[in-house]
Amino acid sequence: MVGGGQLARMTHEAGIPLGIRFKLLSDTPQDSAAQVVNDVVVGDYRDLDTLREFARGCDVITFDHEHVPTEHLRALEADGIPVRPGPDALVHAHDKGVMRARLDAIGVPCPRHRIVSDPADAVAFAAEAGGFPVILKTVRGGYDGKGVWVVRSEDEAAEPFRAGVPVLAEEKVDFVRELAANVVRSPSGQAVSYPVVESQQVNGVCDTVIAPAPNLPEELAGQAQELALRIAEELGVVGHLAVELFETADGRILVNELAMRPHNSGHWTQDGAMTSQFANHVRAVLDLPLGDPRPRVKWTVMANVLGGDYPDMYQGYLHCMARDPQLKIHMYGKDVKPGRKVGHVNTYGDDLDDVRERARHAADYLRGTITE
């Protein structure tokens, strides 16, 4: 697996029961996954020689993030190493411009959008899309709200162009909430679909996920699942695909983002589903039959733990574990920095209010924003 973040950490955890040998390419020996994996290579994934050396002896390569240059992936494939998801799929997660063009071509509903050439062109787009504000995104390199701007004027539109990366303009959708449809697809074409979840963002960062999305009409849930399965097939995705969606006031769903790897909106599956997204990602990448994606319980809530003022969150365990013996804590071994995702908690049960309160309490307590 290329990339030593928490997704690699949790994928390794899910791979242990399958008896597989997990090899990691990590930026540093301190990265989240590098702490818990035996076979770690420290190196730069942007360097083709490093990637090639790492890939030697691997049966298959997969990814913790979408930042490996597409041409490097093609080089690995030319060397005979299976890359899953492959570069032809992954380019859609790597480049938002390519993604939008492809979704248009296969008729998937998206916010209005086009590539804009400069701040003046962004103003022109705003006029076409019903006025400011509009969303500007660099087509590559963004995540967790980085590389995304809400722009209200030509002046504000200057910043996104400074990186020298093409800029995509999108209408600011008047959504009632955000949803995510998670699916996993194997090289043989088998695919499974998790229940559609509600994803609540704070400052552009995923904060809480409720599985399944409460009060989602069955028809809309079915549409979202079909959409995700269709995108996975049309784009040739292998492994986990997260489709982030807007639910609009008038009952439509529009595709916001794609991620081709285990995703924050699927963390609830570790404790709430028959088979976790990480286990199914491993199975897909190894071309093994996929596991049952259905929930084990009526409601599961995931809440992210962000870094707060406490450098050490161990003390928080004492309170949280004693308060809620069913709480599931997933920490990433990261140094605590304010606002950084350092872990998440899962809670589950039959009563959504109770399940949500327990997750919220634990996440807030571990962050240090509450003290009782």
326 binds a copy of itself (CB under 8 A): yes
Which residues, 6 or more positions from 153, have their beta carbon under 8 angstroms from its beta carbon?
A: 132
CA distances from 106 to 39, 238, 239, 330 (A): 41, 18, 21, 38
- Judge whether 172 is annotated as a binding position: yes
Q: Which of 359, 357, 147, 43 is nearest to 367 (CA)?
A: 359
69 binds a copy of itself (CB under 8 A): no
Which CB atom, from 35 or from 248, has the smaller least distance to a copy of itself?
Answer: 35
Exposure pattern of 304-331 as b/e (b: 16+ CB <10 Å)? bbbbbeeeebeebeebbeeebeebbbbb
78 binds a copy of itself (CB under 8 A): no
38 binds a copy of itself (CB under 8 A): yes
Cα–Cα dist 163/46, whole Å: 18
- Judge whether 66 is annotated as a binding position: no
Which residues, 6 or more positions from 160, have their beta carbon under 8 angstroms from its beta carbon?
A: 136, 137, 138, 149, 151, 167
Which CB atom, from 13 or from 95, has the smaller least distance to a copy of itself?
Answer: 13
332 binds a copy of itself (CB under 8 A): yes
Which CB atom, from 45 or from 332, has the smaller least distance to a copy of itself?
Answer: 332
- Residue from 288, 360, 364, 368 touching a copy of itself (CB under 8 A): that is 288
* Sign, CA torsion 282/285/291/293: positive
User: Do the Cβ atoms of 326 and 217 come closer than 8 Å?
Assistant: no
CB of 233 to a copy of itself, least distance (A): 20
Which CB atom, from 139 or from 320, has the smaller least distance to a copy of itself?
Answer: 320
289 binds a copy of itself (CB under 8 A): yes
13 binds a copy of itself (CB under 8 A): yes
Cα–Cα dist 360/280, whole Å: 27
User: Do the Cβ atoms of 211 and 301 come closer than 8 Å?
Assistant: yes
User: Do the Cβ atoms of 237 and 89 come closer than 8 Å?
Assistant: yes
31 binds a copy of itself (CB under 8 A): no
- Judge whether 173 is annotated as a binding position: yes
Which CB atom, from 107 or from 325, has the smaller least distance to a copy of itself?
Answer: 325
Residue position matching structure tokens 């002046």: 155
- Judge whether 96 is annotated as a binding position: yes
- Residue from 7, 37, 169, 243 touching a copy of itself (CB under 8 A): that is 37
Q: Which of residues 305-324 bind a copy of itself (CB under 8 A)?
A: 313, 317-318, 321-322
Residue position matching structure tokens 């791979």: 15
- Residue from 9, 23, 172, 367 touching a copy of itself (CB under 8 A): that is 9
Q: Distance between the two ends of the chain, CA-based, in angstroms?
A: 40
Q: Which of 134, 128, 137, 65 is nearest to 94 (CA)?
A: 65
127 binds a copy of itself (CB under 8 A): no
- Cα torsion 309, 312, 315, 319 to 10°: value is 50
- Judge whether 182 is annotated as a binding position: no
- Judge whether 298 is annotated as a binding position: no
Q: Which of residues 216-275 bind a copy of itself (CB under 8 A)?
A: 274-275
366 binds a copy of itself (CB under 8 A): no
- Judge whether 137 is annotated as a binding position: yes
- Residue from 94, 137, 263, 283 touching a copy of itself (CB under 8 A): that is 283
Q: Which of 88, 98, 103, 51 is nearest to 72 (CA)?
A: 51
Annotated binding site: 96, 137, 170-173, 178, 256-257
Annotated binding site for ATP: 96, 137, 170-173, 178, 256-257
Residues engaged in binding a copy of itself (CB under 8 A): 9-10, 12-13, 16-19, 21-22, 34-38, 40, 274-275, 283, 288-292, 296-297, 313, 317-318, 321-322, 325-333, 343
